[in-house]
Amino acid sequence: MVENTIYIIDVTNRDGVQTSRLGLAKLEKTVLNLYLDEMGVFQSEFGFPVTRHETNYLNANLELAELGAMKRIRLGGWLRAIKADVEEAFRLVPKLKHVNLSISTSEQMLNGKFLGKYSWDDIINMMCEAVDAAWERGAESIGVNAEDASRTELERLVEFAKAAKQHGADRIRYCDTLGYDDPFTMYERVKTLAKLVKIPIELHCHNDLGMAVACSVAGAKAAIDAGVDAYITTTVNGLGERAGNADLVSTILAIQKASGFENKYHLDKHIILIHAWKICNYASRSFRVPIPVNQPAVGDNAFAHESGIHADGTLKDSRNYELYHFSEVGRGHIEQIETGRLITTGEYSGIKGFRNVAGKYELEFKDDEEAREILELVRYANVHTQLPVTEDEMKFIAEYPKQAMRIMSVEPWAV
């Protein structure tokens, strides 16, 4: 008998970049997709297919997946559950295969957002038309999002989910859009929904009350207890609208280490937590948001001890005061910092300086012409991100120059 599983869908490149006053360059979004793939994440919600400045990035990332740069991860687009948006998405991004279609379902949203323009029957019909349109255009998987599910009457939510299932949807995303649920209401509502509809449930929780991770794992437990798979949407470092989303690493740790989950509920076996340190620090650098000192697993104080009793106990046996070992999340290595002469690459770099840096990264070029071509792209990358190019960014550009050029190109009204 196959056991039901909890999968991770990371939405940093969709919900994370929607965060007010924050954002990522397309190259940074691409490297995050590569890191998420390396970490074993099931799917990355990698952007907005109907947003024109995303078009080159989205198509290039799908091409990278075809070329094998991403081994397993699915790349999914977020769309409004509107037929016209679906049609436009597949026109702009023809190789798109995985989508989540979103529409508001609560009475508050119908009256306060749509201003009474749509009836409840209209909402269901629009969603079903959008799902049908996605299948017709070659979608391979479809998640249907009930925005503001936590403030939607449960009877209506069940009706909505049953309609989505009848039209072939793979999953229902239960969106706690305002962080309104607590873990107890989340468990009860999701278990009832999953039992009545018998469809896998995605949990999408916001952190307005500080319970995004708790509600996510409670909802996942409910779905598994009801006999269906669960999917949890996360963001790296918990960045997202307003107070953020469920943090990727904290969520994984909760499933793997919490007393009620460990060895009882099964996380996707492909997850490799040792990459946590790298991806969290890259996201922090790229978003320009420091990791909080007390952030689980990756904060500066996550494995720091000072008081006598704690230090003594930890030195005797780390399990006395540490629930998991720092090496499990990719910590413990030595990071070298150059304190003497430093050559960096940027928008005005020359070939000698570039070759110096590339040599440190063990990059080789067949001739001077190729080196100059990659240097030109590295210059653009610096303009693009407004940060020194990282080792992994440079290696990516050198290995996939054609795709890198496309990713960094934004052409208004070109399509």
**268-283 per-position pLDDT tens digit:** 999 999 999 999 999 9
Query: Distance between CA 169 and CA 164 in Å, rounded?
Result: 5
Can you give the pTM of this predicted structure?
A: 0.96
| pLDDT value at residue 410 | 85
Tokens of 94: 């023809």
What contacts 204, CB < 8 A, 6 or more positions away? Answer: 11, 145, 173, 174, 175, 176, 177, 233, 245
**105-114 per-position pLDDT tens digit:** 999 999 999 9
Using the predicted structure, report yes or no on whether residue 23 has a pLDDT greater than 70: yes
| pLDDT value at residue 179 | 97
Encode the chain in three state secondary structure.
CCCCEEEEEECCCCCHHHCCCCCCCHHHHHHHHHHHHHHCCCEEEEECCCCHHHHHHHHHHHHHHHHCCCCCCEEEEEEECCHHHHHHHHHHCCCCCEEEEEEECCHHHHHHCCCCCCCHHHHHHHHHHHHHHHHHCCCCEEEEEEECHHHCCHHHHHHHHHHHHHCCCCEEEEEECCCCCCHHHHHHHHHHHHHHHCCCEEEEEECCCCCHHHHHHHHHHHHHHCCCCEEEEEEHHHCCCCCCECEHHHHHHHHHHCCCCCCCCEECCCCCHHHHHHHHHHHHHHHCCCCCCCCCCCCCCCCCCCCHHHHHHHHHCHHHCCCCCHHHHCCCCCCCCCCCCCCCCCCCCCHHHHHHHHHHCCCCCCCHHHHHHHHHHHHHHHHHHCCCCCHHHHHHHHHCHHHHHHHCCCCCCCC
| pLDDT value at residue 337 | 84
| pLDDT value at residue 334 | 87
Kindly report which listed range (37-41, 87-91, 330-334) carries the lowest average pLDDT score: 330-334
Using the predicted structure, report yes or no on whether residue 415 has a pLDDT greater than 60: no
**35-71 per-position pLDDT tens digit:** 999 999 999 999 999 999 999 999 999 999 999 999 9
Work out the angle at residue 80's Cα, subtended by the Cα atoms of residues 159 and 216, and round it to the nearest 5 degrees: 65
pLDDT-based confidence at 412, cuts 50/70/90?
Answer: confident
**173-232 per-position pLDDT tens digit:** 999 999 999 999 999 999 999 999 999 999 999 999 999 999 999 999 999 999 999 999
Query: Distance between CA 394 and CA 358 in Å, rounded?
Result: 8
Using the predicted structure, report yes or no on whether residue 88 has a pLDDT greater than 80: yes
Identity at 75, one-letter amino acid code: L
**382-398 per-position pLDDT tens digit:** 999 999 999 999 999 99
**217-249 per-position pLDDT tens digit:** 999 999 999 999 999 999 999 999 999 999 999
Using the predicted structure, report yes or no on whether residue 254 has a pLDDT greater than 60: yes
